[in-house]
């Protein structure tokens, strides 16, 4: 009983020391609960069965991510416990001097950890439950569902999971503390607060050389992930710039730890101004002994910035793409003249009957299956595309083929180009509400929206490459690809559609027929019912004889897109926020530990007449530099990391990148800035203590 009271008294007395610890625990618990309770928000939404399946898949992935998150938070809690143990080493030494056994000290720590855990769980779960109510709006927005009514939602599974995971973490911390106390020696505990790292001045010339080498290595890594992006085909190709970036980051911090103090010392007017000499020596001491941890923090911040920016961009861009790239309700595609390329299609797994009977349009195939698809449409169009082995990517690139093949050897240059009549394309463009074009009989043009292929094709178009098609010699009307598409999607996937005059086309090379329409009804339930009937045609006995038209609908695209964007966004946010908290918490705890170690130095400053305002200003600058240094390098990394991500995400579109970056900055300011302020005020309280 006495030990319990002593533990509670210690917690109350050391509350300022526990501030970051409490803040991290409460934040970690609440975030853990919120993301594991996302599925409970669906009770307030009207969602389809397919959306429910996507939410179930998302929760399965989030559960897996939660295991990884629990390891990160567990490490963070143990790291924080080490700081608190060091902070109170003198107190434990006094206990031992007064005759208290190590077992009783371990019991005190056990009760303290238990009480802290209980308090943190109660507050964190309470905050998590409150925050999860607001997540209803976020989830509804992600899945574009309607809230039926607002109701207070509580998730028992998330509640239980949070308690179990964090109880295991606290149990590990208790074991860690017990082992740490059992190994402590009295002399180490009494002198623990006096122990501090010595500044080891490194050879400045060696530091300069290492810094230059690190910058060159980092520059090469940046160049690989941006200018040489298309050459990154194998895992080792991607790992190479990553490893280079990690090594270069470590070397930059190692060299800076030996350069900063010497550089500033040479600027005597600045070095001897106010408490700058004291502040810089304090900072130099810290960075000199924390090169590895500063590198890890910098890389975690880099991953956080890229994760948050990318996942939010995917969400915003994909939602915008639905409106732009899926302008019709449904599209069905029938393959024609498959027997012309028998070997190709038999390789794809089609049977002989399907290949030989591939001479029907999409509408005719539906009729053969006794299903009148057009009766459900208020308006529709039919268009065709063509293909020939005499017009492949090789032919359209012309004289530029060899130079492009050297730079991009992985492209399939023997792929037949998709050809379309200009009248058919304009029919689609009018139906979609996009730009229409005109061509003369001796001209061709290419419409595309997949940026990487647009860049490749533009090389040939700007060179004025002439193509030969069905006995006609055609020159390009435009020296660049024009924006446009035929197939509906949630992504920019059109790698190139060759448009020619109607008079050029040879009907024998008809390859695909497209049926595009808008439903008569706008009711989601009725649309779902129609599409379920279409999907059920796969069970029709004639489906083995006649190949069913492949198809895609706006509803399918919308559900798949919103589900994918929600999964990417929530997982990215989950990991990004946890990494951000971990980085900031480690920095904060390190700074508090340094403030505790250097308390006597601040007392000496007061004794020689330094006023409190100057001391606080010096402390603020010291902590600000310590927080900003890894963040600045992480931001530089992120510029090129985001450029790399943009190239990967170009299929989704990156028009919404700026709002995503702004949102990421807000997250960093709130969380990282919050930890900085808490660290400063806690450190200020520590250095004011007098014994």
According to the 3-state scheme, what is the secondary structure of 126-154? HHHHHHHHHHHHHHHHHCCCEECCCCCCC
What's the rounded mean pLDDT across residues 523-533?
85
Contacts of 8 (CB under 8 A, 6+ apart): 111, 115
Higher pLDDT, 506 or 257: 506
Nearest CA-CA partner of 187 in 317, 90, 57, 287: 90
3-state secondary structure of 385: strand
The Cα 62–Cα 68 span in angstroms is 10
- Please state, in angstroms and as integers, the Cα–Cα distance from residue 108 to each residue in 10, 86, 103, 500, following that order: 9, 15, 9, 84
Q: Bigger pLDDT: 224 or 19?
A: 224
* Residue range 55-106, pLDDT digits in tens: 777 778 778 888 888 888 777 777 777 766 666 666 666 666 766 766 777 7
Phi and psi based region of residue 336 (left: phi greater than 0; alpha: psi -120 to 50; beta: remaining):
beta
Q: What is the pLDDT of residue 691?
A: 40
Across residues 500-515, what is the average pLDDT?
A: 92
pLDDT range class, residue 170, cuts 50, 70, 90 = confident
Phi and psi angles of residue 147, each rounded to the nearest 5 degrees, phi first? -75, 125
What would the pLDDT profile of 14-53 be if each residue is shown by its tens digit?
666 667 778 888 888 888 888 888 777 655 455 566 666 6
Phi, psi (deg, nearest 5) at residue 652: -85, -25
Q: How confident is the model at residue 196 (pLDDT cuts 50, 70, 90)?
A: very low
Query: Rounded to whole angstroms, how far apart are CA atoms 331 and 321?
Result: 17
| DSSP state letter for 351 | -
- Residues with Cβ < 8 Å from 187, sequence gap 6 or more? none
Separation between Cα atoms, residue 147 and residue 133, nearest integer Å: 12
Rounded Cα–Cα distance for residues 571 and 579 (Å)? 12
The gap from C-alpha 111 to its chain's centroid, in whole angstroms, comes to 39
Q: What is the DSSP letter of 438?
A: -
Q: What is the pLDDT averaged over residues 221-243?
A: 74
The Cα-based distances of 507 to 354, 418, 421, 549 in angstroms read 21, 14, 11, 20
Across 525-541, average pLDDT: 84
CA–CA dist 403, 456 (Å, integer): 11
Count CB-CB contacts under 10 A for residue 196: 14
> Tell me, what's the pLDDT at 197?
46
pTM of the model: 0.72
DSSP result, 404-427: HHHH-TTS-TTPBPEEEEHHHHHH
Between 428 and 321, the higher pLDDT residue: 428
Looking at the predicted structure, is the pLDDT value of residue 181 above 50?
A: yes
What is the DSSP-derived secondary structure letter of residue 482?
A: B
pLDDT digits (tens, 9 = 90+) for 92-129: 666 667 667 667 777 777 777 777 778 888 888 888 88
CA dihedral sign of residues 400, 405, 411, 413: positive
Residue 450 confidence (pLDDT)? 87
Which structure tokens are listed for 216?
């060159």
Q: Which residues of 156-187 are buried (b: 16+ CB within 10 A; e: fewer)?
A: eebbebbeebbeebbeebbebbbebbeebeee
250 closest CA partner among 279, 287, 278: 287
Task: Tell me the mean pLDDT in the region 630-641.
Answer: 90
Reference 556, options 51, 146, 60, 61; nearest CA is: 51
Partners of 577 in the beta sheet? none
Report the pLDDT value the prediction gives residue 475, as an integer from 0 to 100. 93
Residue 474 has what pLDDT? 93
Say yes or no to pLDDT of 430 above 90: yes
Per-residue tokens: 663: 């949102």
- Cβ atoms of 622 and 282 closer than 8 Å: yes
Q: Which range, 1-10, 249-258, 454-463, has the best average confidence (pLDDT)? A: 454-463
> What percent of the chain has pLDDT above 90?
18
Residue 204 has pLDDT above 50, yes or no: yes
Report percent pLDDT > 70 for the chain.
Answer: 76
Query: What pLDDT score does 422 carry?
Result: 95
- 3-class SS of residue 303: helix
d(CA 365, CA 360): 6
Torsion 499-500-502-508 (CA) sign: negative
Cα Rg for the chain, rounded, in angstroms? 33
Judged on CB neighbours under 10 Å (0-12, 13-18, 19+), 79 is middle
pLDDT number for residue 377: 94
Give dist(CA 491, CA 651) in Å, integer: 5
**Mean of the per-residue pLDDT values of the chain:** 79
* Range with the largest mean pLDDT of 41-50, 106-115, 175-184, 495-504: 495-504
Six-digit token pair at 378? 């208020």
Nearest to 468 by CA among 386, 385, 384, 392: 392
Helix (H) or strand (E) holding 510, with range, is strand 510-519
Local structure of 117: helix, strand or coil: helix
Tell me how far apart the 2 most distant CA atoms of the chain are, in Å: 103
User: Is pLDDT above 50 for 502?
Assistant: yes
pLDDT digits (tens, 9 = 90+) for 443-485: 999 999 888 889 899 999 999 999 999 989 999 999 999 999 9
Of residues 125, 127, 135, the one with CA closest to residue 55: 135
Lowest mean pLDDT among 327-341, 467-481, 596-610: 596-610
User: For residue 601, what pLDDT band results from cuts at 50, 70 and 90?
Assistant: confident
Question: How many CA atoms lie within 13 Å of 180's alpha carbon, on the beta-carbon side?
Answer: 22
Burial of 378 (0-12, 13-18, 19+ CB in 10 A): exposed
Please name the residue that has the structure tokens 């450029």: 643
Assess contact for 598 and 558: CB atoms under 8 A.
Answer: no
| More confidently predicted of 381 and 648 | 381
Select the more confidently predicted residue: 535 or 146.
535
| Cα 117 from chain centroid (whole Å) | 31
Q: 351 pLDDT exceeds 80? A: no
Mean pLDDT of 165-186: 74
The first and second tokens of residue 248, run together, are: 């270069």
How far apart are the C-alpha atoms of 535 and 523, rounded to whole Å?
19
10 Å Cβ neighbour count for 613? 8
């Amino acid at each position: 009983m006495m030990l319990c009271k002593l533990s509670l008294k210690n917690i109350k007395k050391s509350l300022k020391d526990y501030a970051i610890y409490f803040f991290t625990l409460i934040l970690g618990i609440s975030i853990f609960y919120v993301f594991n309770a996302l599925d409970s928000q669906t009770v307030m939404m009207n969602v389809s069965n397919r959306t429910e399946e996507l939410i179930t898949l998302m929760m399965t992935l989030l559960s897996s991510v939660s295991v990884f998150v629990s390891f990160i938070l567990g490490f963070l809690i143990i790291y924080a416990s080490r700081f608190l143990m060091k902070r109170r080493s003198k107190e434990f030494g006094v206990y031992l001097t007064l005759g208290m056994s190590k077992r009783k000290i371990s019991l005190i720590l056990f009760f303290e950890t238990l009480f802290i855990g209980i308090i943190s769980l109660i507050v964190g779960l309470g905050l998590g439950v409150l925050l999860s109510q607001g997540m209803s709006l976020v989830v509804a927005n992600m899945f574009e569902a309607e809230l039926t009514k607002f109701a207070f939602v509580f998730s028992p599974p998330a509640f239980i999971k949070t308690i179990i995971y964090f109880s295991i973490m606290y149990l590990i911390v208790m074991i860690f503390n017990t082992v740490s106390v059992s190994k402590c020696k009295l002399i180490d505990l009494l002198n623990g607060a006096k122990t501090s790292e010595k500044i080891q001045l490194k050879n400045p010339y060696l530091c300069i050389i290492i810094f230059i080498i690190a910058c060159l290595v980092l520059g090469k890594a940046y160049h690989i992930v941006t200018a040489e992006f298309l050459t990154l085909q194998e895992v080792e190709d991607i790992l190479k710039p990553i490893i280079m970036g990690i090594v270069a980051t470590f070397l930059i911090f190692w060299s800076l730890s030996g350069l900063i103090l010497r550089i500033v010392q040479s600027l005597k007017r600045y070095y001897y101004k106010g408490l700058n000499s004291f502040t810089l020596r304090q900072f130099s001491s810290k960075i000199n002994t924390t090169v590895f941890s500063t590198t890890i923090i910098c890389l975690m911040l880099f991953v956080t910035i890229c994760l948050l920016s990318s996942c939010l961009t995917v969400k915003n861009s994909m939602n915008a793409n639905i409106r732009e790239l899926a302008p019709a309700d449904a599209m069905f595609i029938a393959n024609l003249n498959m027997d012309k390329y028998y070997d190709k299609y038999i390789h794809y797994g089609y049977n002989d009957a399907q290949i030989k009977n591939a001479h029907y349009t999409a509408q005719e195939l539906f009729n053969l299956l006794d299903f009148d698809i057009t009766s459900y449409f208020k308006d529709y169009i039919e268009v065709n595309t063509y293909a020939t082995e005499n017009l492949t990517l090789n032919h359209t690139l012309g004289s530029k083929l060899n130079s492009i093949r050297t730079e991009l050897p992985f492209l399939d240059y023997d792929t037949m180009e998709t050809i379309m009549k200009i009248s058919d394309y304009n029919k689609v463009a009018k139906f979609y509400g996009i730009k229409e074009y005109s061509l003369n009989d001796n001209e061709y043009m290419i419409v595309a929206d997949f940026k990487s292929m647009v860049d490749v094709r533009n090389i040939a178009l700007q060179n004025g490459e002439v193509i030969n098609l069905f006995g006609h010699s055609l020159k390009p009307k435009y020296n660049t690809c024009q924006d446009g598409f035929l197939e509906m999607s949630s992504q920019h996937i059109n790698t190139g559609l060759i448009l020619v005059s109607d008079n050029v086309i040879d009907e024998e090379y008809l390859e695909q027929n497209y049926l595009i329409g808008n439903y008569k009804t706008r009711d989601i339930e009725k649309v779902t019912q129609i599409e379920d009937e279409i999907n059920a045609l796969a069970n029709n006995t004639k489906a083995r004889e006649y190949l069913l038209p492949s198809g895609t609908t706006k509803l399918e695209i919308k559900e798949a897109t919103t589900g994918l964007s929600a999964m990417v966004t929530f997982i990215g946010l989950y990991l990004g926020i946890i990494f951000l908290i971990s980085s900031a918490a480690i920095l904060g705890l390190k700074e508090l530990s340094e403030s505790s170690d250097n308390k006597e130095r601040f007392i000496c400053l007061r004794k020689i007449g330094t006023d409190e305002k100057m001391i606080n200003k010096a402390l603020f600058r010291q902590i600000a530099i310590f927080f900003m240094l890894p963040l600045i390098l992480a931001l530089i990394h992120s510029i090129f990391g985001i450029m790399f991500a943009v190239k990967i995400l170009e299929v989704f579109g990156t028009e919404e990148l700026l709002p995503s970056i702004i949102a990421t900055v807000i997250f960093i300011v709130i969380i990282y800035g919050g930890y900085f302020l808490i660290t400063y005020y806690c450190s200020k309280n520590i250095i004011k203590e007098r014994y």
